[in-house]
């Protein structure tokens, strides 16, 4: 098919030299694909290199503790990816003797591997003819073929998957898939695509109908939730503080943070000490807490904006078991906390 042929020609002439592209080893490709989910390539590269350096094989990753994995992942966000990566590594190492599943269908058994990642690994490592569909693919196909079905609707997902499969070069699925994603990342970009030098401009429906900025169509996202976090940063005379591990579903599962009091709105010190959660940490000695940042730090996640203030609570003794401040960097923490630790000096 002409589309696939032109795409592969473009890919071979324009592809970036990325560290995982020199390999077809499934461990490396899997690692790169999990890191690149919801992450830009430039941000993902140093993480990929760190992981390969610290965990050169799936056995090394499987034998690590969850904390080591989360610590190395720190700053990349969407931490369930790191936890699933670790679970999948243990499964491959222990249940499959270190041999990665070698087909699309079997790759889906791995925790954190869905249709997109299984298709990418199967086509790149095993030349299996399965088409990948990600944000880049949606954009390119919706524009070239003038499809305005929302890409994040059930119907849209089906339409684009069928079309990508139909266009797939079955002789060369690896370069077709990588080419389509690379073309979306470098050429047919969300803003200012390079239509003037595009190999598809003659037939591209969006370009010829002047609809490039209208496609792809997406359904509106859920309303962003505004949350107010108050962190209690204890400092005892022995220079210890309290860290808690986040448990349960929700953001940052498994990471550590200071004792958290979530309030419905921005709280004053007087209001904060009256909160029920505060009483768990209250000390018999005067409860004097000092606000570190008057202006909340706003940490933006996909569906929530977290307005955060840190409160410094100096005390003789901690109300609970603590950790030495000088050891705090050993714990995996959300970026928000990491930045605070880097700037706080007591
Ligand atoms: S002509 Fe423009 S919109 Fe169409 S595929 Fe090329 S870069 Fe994308």
Of 214, 239, 272, which residue sits at a domain end? 214
Q: What is the CATH number of the domain that holds 179?
A: 1.10.340.30
Instruction: Please report the atom of ligand 1 found closest to the CA of residue 212.
Output: 3
- pTM recorded for the entire structure: 0.81
Number of domains within the chain: 2
Closest residue by Cα to atom 8, ligand 1, is: 188
What's the 217 CA to ligand 1 centre distance in angstroms? 15
**Considering the domain boundaries, does residue 37 fall inside one?**
yes
Rounded CA separation 162/177 (Å) = 14
- What would the pLDDT profile of 40-81 be if each residue is shown by its tens digit? 999 999 999 999 999 999 999 999 999 999 999 999 998 999
What's the 1 CA to ligand 1 centre distance in angstroms? 18
Nearest C-alpha neighbor of 268 from the set 296, 291, 234:
291
- Residue 47: CB atoms within 10 A of its CB come to 20
Instruction: Please report the atom of ligand 1 found closest to the CA of residue 194.
Output: 7
| Confidence band for 266, pLDDT divided at 50, 70 and 90 | very high
Note the pLDDT of residue 248. 83
- What would the pLDDT profile of 270-311 be if each residue is shown by its tens digit? 888 888 888 888 765 556 789 999 999 999 988 899 999 999
What's the 188 CA to ligand 1 centre distance in angstroms? 5
**Considering the domain boundaries, does residue 258 fall inside one?**
yes
Based on the fold, state whether residues 230 and 210 are members of the same structural domain: no
**Considering the domain boundaries, does residue 111 fall inside one?**
yes
Note the pLDDT of residue 346. 72
For residue 33, indicate whether it is catalytic: yes
Instruction: Please report the atom of ligand 1 found closest to the CA of residue 205.
Output: 4
Instruction: Please report the atom of ligand 1 found closest to the CA of residue 198.
Output: 6
Q: What is the CATH number of the domain that holds 266?
A: 3.90.79.10
> Which residues, 6+ apart, have CB-to-CB distance to 119 below 8 Å?
104, 130, 131, 132, 133, 177
**Are 92 and 86 within 8 A, CB to CB?**
no
Res. 216: pLDDT tops 60: yes
Give the range among 128-137, 242-251, 330-339 with minimum mean pLDDT: 242-251
Rounded CA separation 28/52 (Å) = 8
- What would the pLDDT profile of 115-172 be if each residue is shown by its tens digit? 999 999 999 999 999 999 999 999 999 999 999 999 999 999 999 999 999 999 999 9
Note the pLDDT of residue 132. 95
Show contacts of 103-111: CB within 8 Å, 24+ apart.
103/128, 104/128, 104/130, 110/30, 111/84, 111/87
Res. 226: pLDDT tops 80: yes
- Report the DSSP pairing between strands 256-257 and 260-263: unpaired
**Domain assignment of residue 237, given as a range:** 225-343
Based on the fold, state whether residues 242 and 167 are members of the same structural domain: no
Q: Which helix H or strand E contains 228, and what residues bound it?
A: strand 225-236
**Are 188 and 143 within 8 A, CB to CB?**
yes
Pocket test for ligand 1, best of 147, 204, 214 (most atoms within 8 A of CB): 204
**Are 205 and 143 within 8 A, CB to CB?**
yes
Based on the fold, state whether residues 199 and 229 are members of the same structural domain: no
Note the pLDDT of residue 275. 87
Instruction: Please report the atom of ligand 1 found closest to the CA of residue 201.
Output: 1
**Of 191 and 277, more confident:** 191
**Considering the domain boundaries, does residue 220 fall inside one?**
no
Stretch 202-210: mean pLDDT: 96
**Considering the domain boundaries, does residue 219 fall inside one?**
no
What's the 133 CA to ligand 1 centre distance in angstroms? 18
Q: Who lines ligand 1 at CB under 6 A?
A: 140, 143-144, 187-188, 193-195, 198, 200-201, 204, 206-207, 212
What's the 176 CA to ligand 1 centre distance in angstroms? 17
Rounded CA separation 144/33 (Å) = 25
Note the pLDDT of residue 287. 62
Mean pLDDT of the chain: 93
> By percentage, how much of the chain surpasses pLDDT 70?
98
Of 189, 214, 239, which residue sits at a domain end? 214
What's the 6 CA to ligand 1 centre distance in angstroms? 13
| Confidence band for 221, pLDDT divided at 50, 70 and 90 | confident
Res. 265: pLDDT tops 70: yes
- Annotated catalytic residue: which of 25, 33, 68, 171? 33
Of 214, 239, 269, which residue sits at a domain end? 214
CA atoms within 13 A on the CB side of 52: 18
């Amino acid at each position: 098919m002409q589309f696939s042929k032109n795409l592969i020609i473009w890919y071979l002439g324009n592809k970036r030299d990325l560290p995982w592209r020199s390999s077809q080893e499934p461990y490396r490709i899997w690692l790169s694909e999990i890191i690149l989910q919801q992450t830009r390539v430039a941000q993902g590269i140093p993480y990929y290199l760190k992981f390969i350096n610290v965990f050169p094989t799936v056995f090394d990753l499987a034998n690590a503790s969850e904390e080591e994995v989360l610590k190395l992942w720190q700053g990349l966000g969407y931490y369930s990816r790191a936890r699933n990566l670790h679970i999948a590594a243990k499964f491959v190492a222990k249940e499959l003797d270190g041999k990665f599943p070698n087909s699309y269908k079997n790759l889906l058994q791995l925790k954190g591997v869905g249709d997109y990642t299984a298709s990418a690994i199967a086509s790149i490592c095993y030349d299996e003819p399965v088409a990948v569909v990600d944000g880049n693919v949606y954009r390119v196909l919706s524009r070239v073929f003038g499809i305005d079905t929302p890409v994040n609707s059930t119907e849209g997902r089906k339409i684009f998957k069928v079309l990508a499969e139909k266009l797939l070069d079955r002789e060369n699925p690896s370069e077709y898939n990588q080419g389509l994603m690379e073309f979306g990342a470098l050429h047919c970009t969300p803003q200012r695509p390079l239509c003037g030098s595009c190999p598809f401009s003659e037939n591209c429906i969006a370009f010829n109908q002047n609809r490039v900025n209208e496609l792809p169509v997406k359904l509106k996202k859920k309303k962003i939730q505004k949350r107010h976090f108050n962190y209690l940063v204890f400092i005892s005379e022995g220079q210890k503080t309290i860290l808690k591990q986040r448990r349960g579903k929700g953001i940052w599962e498994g990471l550590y943070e200071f004792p958290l009091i979530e309030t419905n709105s921005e709280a004053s010190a007087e209001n904060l000490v009256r909160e029920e959660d505060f009483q768990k940490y209250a000390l018999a000695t005067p409860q004097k807490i000092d606000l570190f940042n008057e202006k909340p730090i706003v940490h933006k996640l996909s569906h929530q904006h977290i307005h955060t203030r840190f409160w410094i609570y100096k005390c003789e003794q901690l109300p609970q078991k603590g950790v030495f401040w000088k050891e705090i960097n050993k714990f995996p923490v959300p970026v928000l906390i990491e930045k605070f630790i880097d700037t706080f000096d007591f």
